[in-house]
């Protein structure tokens, strides 16, 4: 079981954004961090990017516990994605169909979820959770270069 901690954020929404992950193999204690940023994006894109980038680093199919403060990511993975896929990656907006926002990242995540077994655990943001605080710090540092 791998522990994956992720966070994403923006200065303004949209605005300069950053993402980060911390991956830990609890039995060996090995850790890997990653982060990056972009000059103009949204908070939700950065939250999703952090998860995708973290899962992409795994070299073989793995069991992963994902810790994130993003309800968007958690509900998207566990509740919304199956409906979106069944509807051609579209969702209802009133009486019309609209493409799912961030569909490119959701589709990347869907492909990764076909390889890895991922369990979602929600973490309260900015609550003194050491790993969540660390990935928040990395994500903020990643977007500060664009301010």
Please tell me which residue in 7, 54, 76, 131 is annotated as part of the active site: 7
Tokens 């961030």 found at: 102
Active-site residue flag, 76: no
Please tell me which residue in 79, 93, 126, 128 is annotated as part of the active site: 126
User: Tens digit of pLDDT for each residue in 16-57?
Assistant: 999 999 999 999 999 999 999 999 999 999 999 999 999 999
pLDDT score of 128: 80
Q: In the structure, what pLDDT confidence band is assigned to residue 4 with cuts at 50, 70 and 90?
A: very high
Please tell me which residue in 9, 69, 74, 108 is annotated as part of the active site: 69
Q: In the structure, what pLDDT confidence band is assigned to residue 126 with cuts at 50, 70 and 90?
A: confident
Query: Smallest Cα–Cα separation from 43: which of 63, 66, 21, 72?
Result: 72
Query: Smallest Cα–Cα separation from 41: which of 92, 104, 88?
Result: 104
Active-site residue flag, 125: no
Q: What share of the chain is helix, strand, coil (3-state, %, to 5)?
A: 40, 35, 25
Spatial distance between the Cα atoms of 76 and 86, rounded to a whole number of angstroms: 14
pLDDT score of 129: 82
More confident residue, 127 or 80: 80
Q: In the structure, what pLDDT confidence band is assigned to residue 127 with cuts at 50, 70 and 90?
A: confident
Residue 23: helix, strand or coil by DSSP? strand
Query: Smallest Cα–Cα separation from 70: which of 38, 111, 104, 105?
Result: 105
2-144: what CATH class? Answer: alpha beta
Active-site residue flag, 7: yes
Please tell me which residue in 9, 34, 47, 74 is annotated as part of the active site: 47
User: Tens digit of pLDDT for each residue in 80-121?
Assistant: 999 999 999 999 999 999 999 999 999 999 999 999 999 999
Active-site residue flag, 136: yes
């Amino acid at each position: 079981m791998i522990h994956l901690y992720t966070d994403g954020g923006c200065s303004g929404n949209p605005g300069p954004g950053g993402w980060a992950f911390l991956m830990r193999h609890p039995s060996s204690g090995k850790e890997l961090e990653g982060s990056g940023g972009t000059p103009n994006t949204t908070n939700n894109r950065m939250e999703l990017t952090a998860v995708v980038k973290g899962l992409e680093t795994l070299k073989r199919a793995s069991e992963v516990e994902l810790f994130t403060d993003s309800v968007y990511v958690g509900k998207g993975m566990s509740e919304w994605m199956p409906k979106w896929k069944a509807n051609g990656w579209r969702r209802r907006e009133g009486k019309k169909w609209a493409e799912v926002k961030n569909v490119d990242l959701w589709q990347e995540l869907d492909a990764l979820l076909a390889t890895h077994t991922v369990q979602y655990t929600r973490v309260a943001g900015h609550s003194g959770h050491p790993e969540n605080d660390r990935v928040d710090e990395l994500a903020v540092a990643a977007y500060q270069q664009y301010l």
